[in-house]
Amino acid sequence: MKYRKKPVIIEAHGWDGSEDKTHFPPWLKAAFKKTDDNKEPTLPTAGCAWFAIKPRTFTLAIAIVTREGQVFADAGDYIIQGIQGELYPCKPDIFAATYEEVAE
């Protein structure tokens, strides 16, 4: 059988790699506020985010705790807030192939 993904409106933010959070949408700022001074929380909970140095590449990334564990958003990635408030990163090419802008 084949299936089509239901049309769902999500919120997303294209991260430019900067540590300047002033351009972050409120839902992403709130994810950073869940941690202490943007450091990895001692008891990570889904929806937390902080700036981190990515292992192996030693590049700046945004660490995001998902229900499946910790993932990283690299500069240029989109950070998506899903329909249940969950956060996850998405590579720009996959984002462009999957989503289109919705007029508000």
pLDDT single digits (tens) 17-59: 999 999 999 999 999 988 766 676 666 678 899 999 998 999 9
For residue 24, what are the contacts with CB-CB under 8 A and spacing of at least 6?
13, 32
For residue 101, report the phi and psi dihedrals to the nearest 5 degrees: -65, 140
Q: How far apart are CA 31 and CA 55, in angstroms?
A: 21
Which amino acid, residue 12?
A: A
pLDDT category of residue 3 using cuts at 50, 70 and 90:
confident
Q: Are 63 and 43 in contact (CB under 8 A)?
A: no
For residue 82, report the phi and psi dihedrals to the nearest 5 degrees: -80, -175
pTM score, whole prediction: 0.86
pLDDT single digits (tens) 66-81: 988 899 999 999 999 9
